[in-house]
Structure 1
Amino acid sequence: MSQLREFLHLLNHAFRNLLPIILVVSVFQFLVIRQVPDAWLPMAVGLLVVVLGVALFLHGLELGIFPIGKNLSNEFARKGSLPLLMVFGFCLGFAAVIAEPALIAVASQAEIISEGRISGLTLRLLVAVSVGLVVALGVVRILLGHSLHWYMIIGYIVVVIVTFFAPAEIVGLAYDSGGVTTNIVTVPLIAALGIGLAMSIRGRNALIHGFGLVGLAVMVPMISVQIYGIIVYSFGEAREVAEGIREAVDPEVSEVVHEVAGSVLLGMLRDLMIMFRDVLPIIAVVLVFQYLVIRKHVAHLHKVMGGFVLVIVGLYAFVVGLKMGLFPIGQSMAEQLIGLDRWIFVYLFAFAIGFATTMAEPALIAIGQKAEEAAKGKLNGTVIRLLVAVGVAVGITIGVHRIISGDSIHYYIMAGYTVVILLTFLSPKYIVALAYDLGGVTTSEVTVPLVTALGIGLATHIEGRNVMIDGFGLIAFASIFPIISVMLYAIAAELANRWRGTES
């Protein structure tokens, strides 16, 4: 009975996460566009399937993966073995990202739109390896007590330099790949590892040292994917993709389930097996470390196995819901708003979607609460959420303006991260790690597909735009501007405190 209550709570939680999108889309459909989309019923069913998929996925994580992951983190922290912690950090980062639903969605879209020049599987492996290495590096940083300042400053200087040389086709995708690595699976696992380590080591501050792993996990894939793009677009050739480019830009053409031997059921079974393959790395990591390294049996094994099954089924339902609901909604809204021939409504929709979805983002609520506890009165969780939501809304609006104007993403991104680097120098130390983490948790498993579809839809329906060059990048803007807004807030608060001190 308690399991059913927990699942219903997660179902409600998933619906609340989706509700801001439904409200914003409904307001624009009925008050601005004043028409109902032709395929509204499949879209509505798709949204319900997304809610169900997210709830099943989260329930599976709570039953199967999180308890083992937390237990392993505590065990390794007690052992204090640096090589063991680094290996575990790498494996945990890799396994969590390779199964990330939003990354799977973005990678598959990239493969289709690039006509096969970019391999979706290669992209996911590259991002997962990058995050694994970053988590291992982040563990060393916490153990040595290094400040995050120089890691991020040097890292983002490299990001800006690589961006200067990267082909236009890869820049938006690279930044989006960084933005989607930290969502439904990664944030709780990676954040728990960082904060747990910082709290278990004498002389470490949970706010300064515990946060930062998520921020690092966003940054490094941006570098590796752009280098991959430089190689692919210099030496690679386009190839045929089974689904073809039309499916990426026309939701009515894409099939939700591809038949196998004339059977939809066989097609669904094949897709479930693919999902099992995607989640297998997490299952393998936790079981190998549980049985071969710490050599303890898994408590409540039947619950854990049931959790793994729910993760796979939930992930499958989530992807089906994306194809039926969120992708078509994003592309349909883009087409309808462009049809009004008044760009102000496109900007308003971008701002509203950014603000509403971020305020409801569960990972942001969790990080805000953790930060408030760790800061001991210096920070307010609600203020942080408002700052981040405004940052995301402004970022997506500026990203939409870039697509409308046809400007190169290079200059926007390079300018944005130059500001971030400058603010990192000026900000008080206690806020830096948190600010970078907040930039990484702003894009949820629900927001990413909708925002990606909005960008692709705009690039598809605005004359003279290239879908690969202009369609990606909105998630990147949603990651940059929260970092800026939170750092500016901390600098302003510090100056205000000094001013009050000099007055008294």
Structure 2
Amino acid sequence: MSTLRELWHAFLHAGRNLLPIIVVVAVFQAFILQQVPDNLLSMALGLLIVAVGVALFLQGLELGVFPIGKSLANQFARQGSVFILMGFGFAIGFSAVIAEPALIAVADQAALISDGRVNALTLRLVVALSVGAVMALGVLRIILGHPIHWYLIAGYVTVVMVTWFAPEEIVGLAYDSGGVTTNIVTVPLIAAIGIGLATSIRGRNPLIDGFGLVALAVMVPMISVQLYGIVVYSVGETESVQLADNGIEALHPLVQMLLDLATMLRDVLPILLVILFFQYLVLRRPLNRPRKLIVGFGMVIFGLYAFVVGLKMGLFPIGESMAEQLIQRDNWFFVYLFAFCIGFATTMAEPALIAVGKQAEEAAPGRLKGSVIRLIVALGVAIGITIGVHRIISGDSIHHYIMGGYLLVIVLLILSPKYIVALAFDLGGVTTSEVTVPLVTALGIGLASQIDGRSVLIDGFGLIAFASIFPIVTVMLYAIGVDALAKLRRPST
């Protein structure tokens, strides 16, 4: 009964996260567009399925995945082996990202739009290997006590340099791939490892040293995916790949459902294998409550399946439909207004942001407020998505926007107080939720497909990158402003 009660609460929580999007869409449909979208019933059913899928997925994580993950991290920290800790960091980073539903959605969209030139599974492997490697590096940084500033400055200078040489077809996709690595699965696992290590090692500060792993997990895939794009687009034209038209759609629905579930099992299996390997072969201890773990993983698989089905029925059509309807109004102001409102509303309801804000408030009592952080981050996301929409409308090159944005970030990184840097970058990584990513991706693709002269592959991707960059800017500007005010007030007291 307690599990069912928790599942019901998880469903209500998922529905509450969807509510801001529903309100924004309803207001625009009723007062600005004054029309009912096509396939309204299908979209509503899709949103309901998304809520069910997210509830099952999150409850499965809480039931089986997170307890064993935290237990392993604590046991390894007590053993004090740097090699084992780095290996565990790599394995958890890889296995969590390869199962990330938002990355699956973005990779599938990229493969479809590029006619198979960008391979969905290869893209996910590139991103997952990158996150695994940088997780191992991030764990080593916490152990050694290195300031994260130098890692971030060197990393983002590399990002800007690689962007200069990368083909325009891959840039937006690369930044979006980095943005979606920190989501339902990865944020809790990565944050738990970082803060757990910082609190267990003498001389480490949870605020300065514990945060930052999420930021690194966002940064490195941007580099690796662009390098992958340089390789892919340096070879000649590839033959178009269209798997969906080769008889798969003709399969019986039950067979198709079983195939989809088998795919989800393949996606979640790496996490289970990592846990079993480290538990039995490294620690040589039996699992506590193995039946609970099995039930949890079963809920994760069915939740992932429902999530993907709901995306196709609800969130992707909403984004594309709204983009088409707003463009037909021939008034770009409403497009900008919709982008701003969607960005702000979805971010304010983002559970990962709420959790990180609370952790920051606890790590720096009296200095940071979780509610203020959420407002500043939501404002940054809204501004970022609005600027990203302007880029699509104007047809400007994403290179200049991205490079300019990160150069600004590097400058602010040097000027900002040290306590805020790791947190600011982590906050930029948690703004892309399981709801925001598909809707924003669909909005970008919808705009690019409706505006003459725009390429869906070149112009459609990139909005997620803007949603990740500008919260970093607003949070660091906030910290700089707070410190400046404190210095002004100090002489008068």
Interval of TM-score (by shorter of Structure 1 and Structure 2):
over 0.9
Partner in structure 2 of residue 272 of structure 1: 261
CA distance in 2, matches of 1:360, 1:376: 23
CA deviations on 1:117-140 (whole Å, 9 max, x unpaired) are: 111100000000000001100000
Q: Which amino acid aligns with 2:431?
A: T
Over 4 Å off, 4+ runs: none
Partner in structure 2 of residue 492 of structure 1: 481
CA distance in 2, matches of 1:491, 1:242: 51
SS, match of residue 279 in structure 1: helix
CA deviations on 1:221-258 (whole Å, 9 max, x unpaired) are: 000000111111111533222257xx9xxxxxxx9x93
TM-score (norm. length: structure 2): 0.99
Partner in structure 1 of residue 320 of structure 2: 331
Partner in structure 1 of residue 215 of structure 2: 215
Partner in structure 2 of residue 32 of structure 1: 32
Q: Which amino acid aligns with 2:136?
A: A
CA distance in 1, matches of 2:249, 2:294: 28
Partner in structure 2 of residue 49 of structure 1: 49
Q: Which amino acid aligns with 1:448?
A: V
Q: Which amino acid aligns with 1:416?
A: G
Mapped contact 1:392–1:442 kept (Cα < 8 A):
yes
Once the two structures are overlaid, the 10-residue window that deviates more, 233-242 or 422-431, is 233-242
Map 1:311-326 → 2, pairs under 5 A: 311-326=300-315
| Residue 258 (1) aligns with residue 255 (2) | no
Q: Relative to 1, partners in 2 of residues 1:30 and 1:402: Cα closer, same or farther, differing over 3 Å?
A: same
Q: Which amino acid aligns with 1:155?
A: G
Partner in structure 2 of residue 365 of structure 1: 354
Q: Which amino acid aligns with 1:106?
A: V
Partner in structure 1 of residue 162 of structure 2: 162
Partner in structure 2 of residue 252 of structure 1: none
Partner in structure 1 of residue 80 of structure 2: 80
Partner in structure 1 of residue 372 of structure 2: 383
Q: Relative to 1, partners in 2 of residues 1:495 and 1:152: Cα closer, same or farther, differing over 3 Å?
A: same
Q: 2:287 aligns with which of 269, 279, 298?
A: 298
Q: 1:355 aligns with which of 344, 360, 364?
A: 344
CA distance in 2, matches of 1:168, 1:405: 16
Q: Which amino acid aligns with 2:62?
A: E
CA deviations on 1:364-388 (whole Å, 9 max, x unpaired) are: 0000000000012110000000000
The alpha carbon displacement at 1:486 in A equals 0.2
Partner in structure 1 of residue 387 of structure 2: 398
Q: C-alpha root-mean-square deviation of aligned residues, in Å?
A: 1.1
CA distance in 2, matches of 1:283, 1:93: 13
Number of equivalences = 492
Mapped contact 2:10–2:58 kept (Cα < 8 A):
yes
Map 1:132-281 → 2, pairs under 5 A: 132-243=132-243, 258-260=249-251, 263-281=252-270
Q: 1:343 aligns with which of 319, 324, 332?
A: 332
Q: Which amino acid aligns with 2:107?
A: A
Q: Which amino acid aligns with 1:43?
A: M
Q: Relative to 1, partners in 2 of residues 1:126 and 1:236: Cα closer, same or farther, differing over 3 Å?
A: farther
Q: Which amino acid aligns with 1:55?
A: A
Partner in structure 1 of residue 423 of structure 2: 434
CA distance in 1, matches of 2:236, 2:358: 46
Q: Which amino acid aligns with 2:272?
A: I
| Residue 129 (1) aligns with residue 120 (2) | no
CA distance in 1, matches of 2:155, 2:366: 31
CA distance in 1, matches of 2:472, 2:400: 18
Q: Which amino acid aligns with 1:495?
A: A
Aligned-pair identity (%): 71
Q: Which runs of 5+ in 2 are unaligned?
A: none
Q: Which amino acid aligns with 2:393?
A: I
Q: Which runs of 5+ in 1 are unaligned?
A: 248-254
Partner in structure 1 of residue 404 of structure 2: 415
SS, match of residue 204 in structure 2: coil
CA deviations on 1:396-452 (whole Å, 9 max, x unpaired) are: 000000000000000000000000000000000000000000000001011100000
CA deviations on 1:132-164 (whole Å, 9 max, x unpaired) are: 001100000000111111100010000000001
CA deviations on 1:61-88 (whole Å, 9 max, x unpaired) are: 0111101100000000000100000000
Q: Which amino acid aligns with 1:80?
A: G
